[in-house]
Amino acid sequence: MDRKQLIEAVKSQMPAKRWEHTLGVMETSVILARRYGCDPEKAYTAAILHDVCKFWPVQEQAKVIRENNLPQDLLDYDKELWHAHAGAFIAKRNYGIGDEEILDAIRYHTSGRQGMSLLEKVVCLADYIEPGRDFPGVHNIREIAEHNVEKALLYAFDGTIRFLLDKGRKVYPLTIHARNGLVDEIKLSEPVEPELQN
């Protein structure tokens, strides 16, 4: 299947509005990949497929998770998390994507995880800030994304976690780990205060 056929196949799985979002993620993923130095081709492919299962009936998504040995604990958390893991599986099985880096970028685009690769960060952040997104704080995150991918993604996860807490919902552990991991990465990348150096 060539790139054009892949795009048509994925497009047919979702309503037009959601395809608009996917186009936004494709464009933004490539920009971020070039800016931060990971493979724009891989970012583009992951972006095309990232929400491939999003509009499948949730029972279909759950079935993919149950029957293919994907993490079963997902089924105890919000249904919104399921399409990412199911999507990575479908990308491999139905669309022949064999590259594990691309599959991980699809798999972790919603929850995140500790120690995310640059490609995972780029696709996850693009999903938050593509031009069609409009939520409180998105302008600020877009600005930070101009120069610091980890900080922008940290603020994005903080927003999601706050949203889930405000609604009294559960937070999937990988999201907490992703958030804590980014805090550590940012700390390590910042210059040490002169008085603390020895």
User: 157-193 as b/e, with b when 16 or more CB fall inside 10 Å?
Assistant: bebbeeebeeeeeebbebbebbbebbeebeeeeeeee
If DSSP codes are grouped into helix, strand and coil, which group holds residue 2? coil
Q: ∠ CA(23), CA(175), CA(45), 5° rounding?
A: 25
Q: ∠ CA(187), CA(189), CA(194), 5° rounding?
A: 80
Q: Which stretch binds Fe ion (CB under 5 A): 11-19, 46-54, 154-162, 164-172?
A: 46-54
The option from Fe ion, ligand DGI, none interacting with 78 (CB < 5 to 8 A, set by class) reads ligand DGI
The least distance separating ligand DGI from the CB of residue 198, rounded to whole angstroms, comes to 39
The least distance separating Fe ion from the CB of residue 174, rounded to whole angstroms, comes to 14
Name the DSSP letter for residue 108: T
The least distance separating Fe ion from the CB of residue 172, rounded to whole angstroms, comes to 13
Residues at the interface with ligand DGI (CB under 6 A): 21, 51, 54, 77-78, 80-81, 84, 109-111, 127, 160, 164, 171-172, 175
The option from Fe ion, ligand DGI, none interacting with 23 (CB < 5 to 8 A, set by class) reads none
The least distance separating Fe ion from the CB of residue 17, rounded to whole angstroms, comes to 12
Q: Among residues 20 and 78, whose Cβ is nearest to ligand DGI?
A: 78
Q: Binding to Fe ion by residue 127, rule CB under 5 A?
A: yes
Q: Binding to Fe ion by residue 130, rule CB under 5 A?
A: no
If DSSP codes are grouped into helix, strand and coil, which group holds residue 34? helix
Residue ranges binding Fe ion (CB under 5 A): 51, 127
